[in-house]
């Protein structure tokens, strides 16, 4: 990455993380320009600490001159019913330059633009918001190895009767479990 940056092929080097210690460590590494931490008002998905710990780590990274691009402000859709306050919570964290926001239709785009432009939101736009329809699914091919359980940053996976089981209340649809499954038994559907 450093070679590509020195050659002008890329302009910045970044890292994405759910872990507070990784945010802190990345703040110390001069070659890392951008940090993409998970942050939401519930603290869902944060590894080894609380919301306050992550906000403090983000502040330290900002003071170190890092660009900060937040992810999962809606906690994988768990905060869709608190849309404005959830986005504003993250927007008001000193140092956050941008927030990754997923959208699936024109109405969600319009709603998000109004929120981020601090505009009044028509009631009909607010009434159209829905919980994400995707869910994590473990197929019958699961061999119960536990790799996904160890990988899940939010403790949404457990082993029961020799198979992985999803707690959908904790799952934030981050997808970290999917690529580690040796049997390709995990799907977002």
How far apart are the C-alpha atoms of 50 and 101, rounded to whole Å?
22
What is the pLDDT averaged over residues 29-55? Answer: 95
How far apart are the C-alpha atoms of 149 and 139, rounded to whole Å?
15
Q: Note the pLDDT of residue 161.
A: 95
What is the pLDDT averaged over residues 41-45? Answer: 91
Q: How far is CA 44 from CA 5, 50, 103, 152, 185, in A?
A: 33, 9, 20, 12, 24
How far apart are the C-alpha atoms of 119 and 135, rounded to whole Å?
32
More confident residue, 141 or 123: 141
Q: pLDDT band for position 131 (50/70/90)?
A: low
Q: Where are the beta strands (DSSP E) in 51-122?
A: 67-70, 96-99
Say if residue 133's pLDDT is above 70: no
What is the pLDDT averaged over residues 11-15? Answer: 97
Number of other residues whose CB lies within 10 A of the CB of residue 70: 24
Say if residue 129's pLDDT is above 80: no
Lowest-confidence region among 99-103, 122-126, 171-175: 122-126
Global pTM reads 0.79
Beta-strand relationship, 136-138 and 186-188 = antiparallel
pLDDT, tens digit, 9 for 90 and up, residues 72-83: 999 887 788 889
């Amino acid at each position: 990455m450093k070679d590509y940056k020195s050659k002008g092929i890329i302009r910045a080097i970044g890292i994405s993380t759910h872990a507070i210690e990784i945010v802190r460590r990345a703040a110390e590494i001069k070659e890392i320009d951008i940090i993409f931490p998970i942050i939401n008002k519930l603290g869902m998905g944060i590894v080894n600490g609380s919301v306050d710990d992550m906000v403090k780590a983000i502040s330290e990274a900002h003071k170190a001159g890092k660009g900060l691009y937040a992810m999962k402000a809606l906690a994988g859709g768990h905060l869709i019913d608190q849309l404005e306050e959830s986005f504003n919570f993250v927007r008001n964290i000193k140092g956050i330059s941008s927030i990754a926001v997923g959208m699936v239709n024109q109405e969600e785009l319009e709603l998000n633009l109004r929120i981020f432009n601090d505009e009044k939101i028509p009631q009909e736009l607010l009434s159209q918001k829905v919980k994400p329809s995707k869910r994590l699914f473990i197929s019958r091919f699961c061999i119960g190895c536990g790799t996904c359980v160890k990988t899940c940053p939010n403790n949404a996976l457990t082993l029961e009767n020799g198979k992985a089981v999803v707690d959908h209340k904790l799952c934030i649809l981050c997808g970290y479990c999917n690529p580690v499954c040796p049997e390709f038994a995990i799907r977002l559907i």
